[in-house]
Amino acid sequence: MHLTFVQALELCGTIAFAVSGATAAINKSYDLIGLLSLSFITAIGGGTIRDLLIGATPVAWMTNELSNSAILIAAIIAALFFSYIKKLVRLLSTFDAIGLGMFTITGINKGMAVGLPLPICVALGVITGTFGGLLRDVICGEQPILFTREIYAAASIAGGTLYLLTGHYTGLSGDVAQSISIAVIVAIRLFSLHFNWQLPRLRG
């Protein structure tokens, strides 16, 4: 099997999302079914909601054997070697940021392919990148990290908007514009983690 660079990046993101689902399942003392379900839902939930909203069925993950195998293996490895895996914070954060970037751009591209207005395409990118984690938290009965902590969706919105602007106002090819935008999303996300940036919380 020959893996392109883009596929490798997507795989890194998928694995990080699956491990985050597996971690939540382990923290909740779920069983094997809970482990696998939550890993899959976290990794593919965003893309699934995107596909449902635009009517792209059967949804993408159902025919993505490589991604499904990676999620399965990542979930099981995370459970077997959890005390080791949970120390890889920095690696997993980086993979997770890459996933956020890749999935954002994939979502935007799918939105543009069906002719949706550009702000909706950005929303679709954000949904693709973040709603898997939202589903994970809601199923676990936790307050959504997405709504309460850290620069996460904000990084996706910034990079996604940049992607559309560079595509519209510059002569950059799609590949270059995508690479820049993904790099921006990863950078914002990792800087925000490093410097502990957060959006202000609302007060009643």
Closer Cβ to its own copies, 88 or 199, answer by number: 199
Farthest CA pair distance, the chain:
55
Contact set for its own copies, span 100-139 (CB under 8 A) = 114, 116-117, 119-120, 134, 138-139
DSSP state of 62: G
What minimum distance in Å lies between the beta carbon of 170 and its own copies?
26
Any long-range contacts for 24-32 (C-beta under 8 Å, 24+ apart)? 24/136, 24/137, 24/140, 24/142, 25/79, 26/78, 26/79, 26/82, 28/140, 32/79
Binding of its own copies by 203 (CB under 8 A): yes
Q: What is the distance of C-alpha 142 from the center of its chain?
A: 18
Binding of its own copies by 95 (CB under 8 A): no
Given 9, 35, 70, 184, the residue binding its own copies (CB under 8 A): 35
- The stretch near its own copies (CB under 8 A) out of 6-14, 63-71, 98-106, 180-188 is 63-71
Closer Cβ to its own copies, 17 or 40, answer by number: 40
Given 11, 15, 25, 188, the residue binding its own copies (CB under 8 A): 25
Please count the other Cβ atoms lying within 10 Å of the Cβ belonging to residue 46.
29
